[in-house]
Amino acid sequence: MNIFRFFGDISHLASIFILIHKIHTSRSCRGISFKTQVLYVAVFVTRYLDLLYSWVSLYNFVMKVFFIASSCYILYLMKVRFRPTNDPSIDTFRVEYLVGPCAVLALIFNYGYAVTEVLWSFSIFLESVAILPQLFMLQRTGEAETITTHYLAALGAYRTLYIPNWIYRYFSEGYVDPIAVTAGLVQTGLYLDFFYVYFTKVLQGQKFELPA
């Protein structure tokens, strides 16, 4: 554990709390892609299967359980509690274009042909693109509530902080995980456009609006 990874994880936690807070206070999940949230549940469940057979640390255990539970809770909020505020007609990204290629990549690139290893790889690849339905929705509507942009910024910060974490680990442990690093770089790259608008507009007090 190093400071980059720690703050990355804290940022990830924060993003989830921001999202739940947004849904509760506005009593609405407007602007949130249900598809992205479903993909996150798939990511956490397939990656954290090792909860059942390996122990890393209490920190690791608590975080994994939290990520699975909170992502399922968000689905509940969107599909049950605040269902009328969820508009599937603007959440149109085709997730099969993400899940299929990720499954193929996981079969090719993994650290061993065991079900758990392939699913772990799959979760890494899927996480790297899981935000796309959300970003696509943002692109379509052209604007977002400020709180939704804070959610995305915290999520993007988490991925960004994992990069110095890997650099740190390379120098301190001489260790590189090529699958995680490659997927992580792609994932962080997807946020670049968003970050640009977030820093130049939202943090200057303006509304998040994309140029027409």
Contact with another protein (CB under 8 A) among 4, 11, 12, 71: 12
- Give strand ranges (E) for the chain: 143-144, 208-209
Query: What three-state secondary structure class fits 4?
Result: helix
Q: Is 157 in the site for another protein (CB under 8 A)?
A: no
Q: Measured from the CB atom, is 81 or 169 closer to another protein?
A: 169
Binding pattern for the stretch 91-130 against another protein, x by CB under 8 A and - elsewhere = --------------------xx-------xx--x------
- How far is residue 208's CA from residue 141's CA, in Å, rounded to a whole number? 11
- Of all helices (H) and strands (E), which one includes residue 135? helix 132-141
Nearest alpha carbon to residue 119 among 44, 55, 62, 54? 44
70 near another protein, rule: CB under 8 A: no
Q: Which of 34, 151, 162, 194 binds another protein (CB under 8 A)?
A: 162
**Rounded to an integer, what distance in angstroms lies between the CA atom of residue 142 and that of residue 131?**
16
CA distance 74 to 36: 11
Measured from the CB atom, the residue of 179 and 197 that comes closer to another protein is 179
Site residues, another protein (CB under 8 A): 5, 9, 12, 50, 54, 56-57, 60, 63-64, 67, 111-112, 120-121, 124, 162, 165, 169, 175, 177, 179-180
